[in-house]
Structure 1
């Protein structure tokens, strides 16, 4: 039976793998970039490196098959990301960038994009990904509740997330968990939010 536990540093390769295998609006993005680690380096590794206390792994037979990660304080995380993670990304992916990587690296190298006006009342944010074999079994709900408890204890009253408007199955999942669309963002990203009270 899969179980949820805190993230450990040795989970990083599996977290990277889960990130890219669910990175194409929920589908597999392997082979789309010069490295299959690039997506994880932009959207997963910075969280487990800079904010590991808010990272939780779904483990099945000793292997991570899903995760939730994020921060309780987006502005503070952005500052830490800019100071610590951007230099790491620049070293790992030096210019000139492969054309396939450019847009993703532009996101990864611009943490200020996380400071979307209108999200100030939802200071926490999260990312959650599960491999297909453990989807639809209640584990996503359990991961979200675990994360909400952790950021609530850290003082965050509400949480937000950004998602591709085309990922309709994820949208339904979040709405069932009490997330509602927030009046911010644009045509390429939909923001949802909710209280951290479970």
Structure 2
């Protein structure tokens, strides 16, 4: 049995593991990182700290097997990150660690992202101010867990009267792309790395 429930602080280690084990376009990225927490410091950790009411987990007897996390206001979240999240990580991971060792690992890219991230206005946020990340381990895929997580989050955003939500999906993850299409998302900005997809919330 899988339970979908609101995030609790003790879920964070499990969420970090899920982030890493799905971090290579849905596949296990453990071999790509010397520091197993680095990827999740960017893509998982800040969301439940900034707004825990928009973070939900899927849990079975083995622990956290998936999550969905979001912010209702992307630009405000980026400003929060600049003030509260990035400074500590920039101190922990100096910019000198952003040199590419050319050994296939990706720690350097994450360090570069930590130092280069800045709040950036985008006209996309007018219609789709929220954004989300969703990750589910293989043992939870194909059983409707992702769909339940997405519905739970969309309901929470609807209560807040958020007009729309967007996300990014890499070109190397066609399964995720098909899932987002099935959940009502469509491509609004293709790019070399993949696509930005979005869907309205209040008028659906």
- Does the alignment reach a TM-score above 0.5? yes
Q: How much has 1:194 moved relative to structure 2? A: 0.7
Q: How much has 1:181 moved relative to structure 2? A: 0.5
Q: How much has 1:89 moved relative to structure 2? A: 1.1
Q: How much has 1:188 moved relative to structure 2? A: 1.3
The alpha-carbon distance between structure 1 residues 162 and 114, as it changes in their structure 2 partners (threshold 3 A), is farther
Partners in 1 of 2:182 and 2:190 — Cα distance? 21
Q: How much has 1:113 moved relative to structure 2? A: 6.8
Aligned residues: 197
Aligned to 1:56: 56
Aligned to 2:191: 186
Structure 2: tracts of 5 or more residues without a match: 101-105
Aligned to 1:74: 74
Aligned to 2:174: 168
Deviations 1:91-114 (A, max 9, x none): 222242153422222223444476
Deviations 1:139-181 (A, max 9, x none): 1011001111112222211100011122101000110111111
Partners in 1 of 2:113 and 2:154 — Cα distance? 26
For the residue of structure 2 that corresponds to 1:85, the secondary structure is helix
Partners in 2 of 1:41 and 1:102 — Cα distance? 13
Contact 2:79 2:119 in 1 (8 A): no
RMSD: 1.8
Q: How much has 1:187 moved relative to structure 2? A: 0.9
Contact 2:74 2:125 in 1 (8 A): no
After superposing on structure 2, the runs of 4+ consecutive aligned residues of structure 1 that deviate more than 4 Å are: 113-117
Structure 1: tracts of 5 or more residues without a match: none
Partners in 2 of 1:115 and 1:14 — Cα distance? 32
For the residue of structure 1 that corresponds to 2:68, the secondary structure is strand
Aligned to 1:33: 33
State TM-score, norm by structure 2. 0.90
1:158 aligns with 2:146: no
Partners in 2 of 1:162 and 1:110 — Cα distance? 19
Q: How does 1:107-122 map to 2 (within 5 A)?
A: 107-112=113-118, 115-122=121-128
The alpha-carbon distance between structure 1 residues 188 and 117, as it changes in their structure 2 partners (threshold 3 A), is farther
Partners in 2 of 1:111 and 1:46 — Cα distance? 14
Contact 1:107 1:113 in 2 (8 A): no
The alpha-carbon distance between structure 1 residues 185 and 103, as it changes in their structure 2 partners (threshold 3 A), is farther
Worse-matched range after superposition: 166-175 or 105-114 = 105-114
Aligned to 1:10: 10
The alpha-carbon distance between structure 1 residues 129 and 113, as it changes in their structure 2 partners (threshold 3 A), is farther
